[in-house]
């Protein structure tokens, strides 16, 4: 088991079988699922369990918890070029509290220090201005407009992509990690 990543308010920890009901309930809300690429709608406990069982070796996924309750998830998938694409979602009851920014910032730091990536990518659907604000707060730079498949919507959706190169200060982060 790996060490949890802690922030001021959140703990990013490995997923456990007992997380399935909360994952299915929060990720399965239409307003959450429709803003992700890989969460189908409706989203059942069986689908959440199946997803957890198929997380591959190039993937890193952590439950985002607040006061021991799951509020979302963050993670990355390693790209063929040695970079990683990050992703995140936060359950609707916790929107507007800064949890997405806090959790994603901790993930970015982990990617640049512990995981050793030199470049990160991410994207959001064009109709998701909240995610755009998070991505820009993290320092990602726009990389273009494309489209991506959304399982919940069962459609290709206009998507904005971004990238972030490892900052020089990340070398100092490694010393304090």
pLDDT per residue rounded down to tens, the chain (177 residues):
689 999 999 999 999 999 999 999 999 999 999 999 999 999 999 999 999 999 998 899 999 999 999 999 999 999 999 999 999 999 999 999 999 999 999 999 999 999 999 999 999 999 999 999 999 999 999 999 999 999 999 999 999 999 999 987 655 555 555
131-156 confidence digits (pLDDT tens): 999 999 999 999 999 999 999 999 99
User: Could you tell me the CA-to-CA distances from 170 to 12, 111, 119, 131, 165 in Å, in that order?
Assistant: 20, 10, 12, 23, 10
pLDDT of residue 171: 55
Range list of H helices, 54-157: 99-112, 129-137
pLDDT of residue 169: 65
pLDDT of residue 57: 87
Copy the structure tokens of residue 84.
């990683």
Kindly report the CA angle at 157 between 81 and 93, in degrees rounded to 5? 95
Report how many helices (DSSP H) and strands (DSSP E) the chain contains, helices first.
6, 8
pLDDT of residue 167: 84
CA dist., res. 128 & res. 112, Å (int):
26
End-to-end CA distance of the chain: 17
- Main-chain phi, psi angles of 20, to 5 degrees: -55, -50
pTM for the full predicted model: 0.93
Whose CA is closest to 73, among 100, 92, 96, 98? 100
Structural domains of the chain, count: 1
- Tell me which long-range contacts 163-168 makes (C-beta under 8 A, separation of at least 24): 163/83, 163/119, 163/120, 163/121, 164/108, 164/119, 164/120, 164/121, 164/122, 164/138, 164/139, 164/140, 165/118, 165/119, 166/112, 166/117, 166/118, 166/119, 167/112, 167/139
User: Could you tell me the CA-to-CA distances from 141 to 55, 107, 167 in Å, in that order?
Assistant: 28, 17, 13
pLDDT of residue 76: 98
Which residue segment(s) compose the domain that 82 sits in?
A: 5-176
Specify the pairing of strand 119-125 against strand 141-150: unpaired
106-117 confidence digits (pLDDT tens): 999 999 999 999
| CATH label of the domain that carries residue 21 | 3.40.630.30
């Amino acid at each position: 088991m790996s060490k949890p990543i802690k922030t001021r308010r959140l703990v990013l920890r490995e997923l456990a079988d007992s997380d399935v009901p909360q994952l299915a309930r929060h990720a399965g809300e239409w307003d959450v699922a429709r803003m992700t690429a890989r969460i189908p709608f409706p989203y059942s406990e069986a689908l959440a369990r199946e997803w957890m069982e198929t997380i591959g070796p190039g993937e890193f996924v952590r439950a985002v918890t607040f006061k021991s309750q799951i509020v979302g998830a963050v993670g990355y998938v390693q790209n063929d070029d040695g970079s990683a694409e990050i992703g995140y979602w936060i359950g609707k009851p916790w929107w507007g509290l800064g949890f997405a920014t806090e959790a994603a910032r901790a993930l970015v730091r982990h990617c640049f220090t512990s995981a050793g990536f030199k470049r990160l990518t991410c994207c959001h659907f064009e109709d998701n201005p909240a995610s755009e604000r998070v991505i820009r707060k993290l320092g990602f730079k726009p990389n273009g407009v494309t489209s991506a498949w959304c399982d919940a919507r069962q459609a290709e959706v206009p998507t904005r992509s971004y990238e972030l190169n490892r900052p020089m200060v990340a070398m100092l982060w490694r010393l304090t990690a």
